[in-house]
Amino acid sequence: MSSTGASILVTRRWPEAVENALAKKFDVTFVNASLSRSQWQEAFSNYDAICPCVTDRISADLFPDTGIRTKLLANYGVGYNHIDLEAARSRNILVSNTPGVLTDATADLAMTLLLMLARRAGEGERQLRSGNWHGWYPTHLMGTMITGATLGIVGMGRIGMAMARKAHYGFGMQILYHNRSIVDDACVSEMKAEYFSELDDMLGRADFVSLHCPGGKNTHHMMDAGRFACMQSHAYLINTARGDVIDEAALVEALGKGQLAGAGLDVYEDEPKVSPGLANMENVVLLPHLGSATTVTRTAMGMRVLANLEAFFSGRELPDRVV
């Protein structure tokens, strides 16, 4: 039995511990599927709150104009560019997210992509598994040295900062960063991280470029043909932010021309579809959106959603209010 009587729709299954905690507090329905337009309209009419995730693209046309019961979209995830915030705001629906709890997990995965690219680990594993490895020799799959290399961070927020720390203190990498403004932080000063107000200037200096900026209209296709042309031909691009930050067609073309050495991607423009041009390239590492995929992190994300739900239905301020 729920303790509040509030009716909650969860669009995907969550870790068991979180589902059990939710069920003790609320009347919860778990769908675990993509909803059609009519199902979204029905959901907004029948549930007090809905808990979507990044795979739920909640555009303006999915919101009914009348008969809306839903008062909160408690998003499972830190990014919220998949939700039309203006449409929610105009219908007096609050939106919350789950910041902070996935910082290190996502930065860890960005570092994983960097390491895999530099040391050609994906190529090596494919070669071994296919039976095409015939033993050690001096010029086999020679990669790039990470220690002492230069890393450019695009977006020095929580995750970008965590990535910078891991790279600098763990691998002795030199840190450059592009952000809306200079980050006034003791750690940034200690790392002697160099700030660039112009992204193009930073791209021309970095051996590795890691994207940690938010999605949305302001960063849509931030990395386009012009930006790839600014990168050094030996440089690598890493993206654990949002897929639409990169113009994938332009990336395929730039990689084909040798304008950059390779790319490591965990997110895509049209998930779960991946451009065949990327999938066919040996110098590209592709992961299926695993940034926050640890048991500890995914559980913490769910508990953060629960905290927002509890606050809302208790009449308190949302701890992670977006709208």
115-173: pLDDT as tens digits: 999 999 999 999 999 999 999 999 999 999 999 999 999 999 999 999 999 999 999 99
Residues 187 and 54 in one domain: no
Please identify which residue in the block is written with the tokens 């795979």.
Answer: 55
Residues 78 and 144 in one domain: no
* pLDDT-derived band at 2, boundaries 50, 70, 90: low
Residues 153 and 260 in one domain: yes
Residues 115 and 262 in one domain: yes
Residues 68 and 196 in one domain: no
- Are the C-beta atoms of 113 and 238 separated by less than 8 Å? yes
Paired residues of 286 in beta bridges = 265
Cα 51 from Cα 315, distance rounded (Å): 18
> Could you give the number of structural domains in the chain?
2
Burial class for 284, CB neighbours closer than 10 Å (0-12, 13-18, 19+): buried
pLDDT average, residue stretch 249-253: 98
Active-site residue 317, yes or no?
Answer: no
Strand, coil or helix: 115: helix
Active-site residue 234, yes or no?
Answer: no
Residues 77 and 114 in one domain: no
> Is it the case that residue 236 has pLDDT exceeding 80?
yes
pLDDT recorded at residue 165: 98
Among candidate residues 19, 42, 253, 271, the one labeled active-site is 271
Residues 95 and 119 in one domain: no
Among candidate residues 242, 248, 269, 304, the one labeled active-site is 242
Residues 97 and 112 in one domain: no
DSSP code of 35?
Answer: P
Residue 319 falls inside a structural domain? no
pLDDT average, residue stretch 275-292: 96
Active-site residue 289, yes or no?
Answer: yes
Per the structure, the complete domain to which residue 181 belongs is given by: 103-286
CATH of the domain at 32: 3.40.50.720
pLDDT recorded at residue 1: 44
Residues 67 and 114 in one domain: no
Within a 10 A sphere around the Cβ of 226, how many other Cβ atoms?
11
- Where is 211: in which H helix or E strand? strand 208-211
Among candidate residues 91, 119, 220, 289, the one labeled active-site is 289
Share of the chain above pLDDT 70, in %: 99
Residues 214 and 93 in one domain: no
> Is it the case that residue 254 has pLDDT exceeding 50?
yes
Residues 151 and 257 in one domain: yes
Cα 74 from Cα 49, distance rounded (Å): 7
Residue 322 falls inside a structural domain? no
Residue 97 falls inside a structural domain? yes
- Where is 17: in which H helix or E strand? helix 16-25
pLDDT recorded at residue 5: 87
* Contact residues for 130 (Cβ-Cβ < 8 A; gap 6+): none
Residue 237 falls inside a structural domain? yes
